Amino acid sequence: MSLRNTEYVIGVVVYTGHETKIQMNTTKSDYKVSKMMRLTNLAIVYIFVMQVIFSCAGAVYCAYWQDDNYENPYLALHLS
């Protein structure tokens, strides 16, 4: 890069921080989410939590039930 028609240049940097025009234009915009997408995401989280709760409850109930019915011969729970 060279200067034309002049012998010297005087320059002053006034401010170079986060509020410069270039820095302010490089920020990412907010992600737009519709109400339907927000509701769908909430429903998916709710269904996942309910599945985890029901799975844990079912596993605990199965363990108690097997413990209570371990001696019944028609269930064939013995692996001996």
The 10s digit of each residue's pLDDT in 28-65 is 777 788 999 999 999 999 999 999 999 999 999 998 98
Calculate the CA 79 to chain-centre distance: 44
Q: What is the mean pLDDT of residues 61-72?
A: 83
pLDDT score recorded for residue 78 = 53
Rounded distance between C-alpha atoms, residue 72 and residue 80, angstroms: 14
Rounded distance between C-alpha atoms, residue 66 and residue 71, angstroms: 9
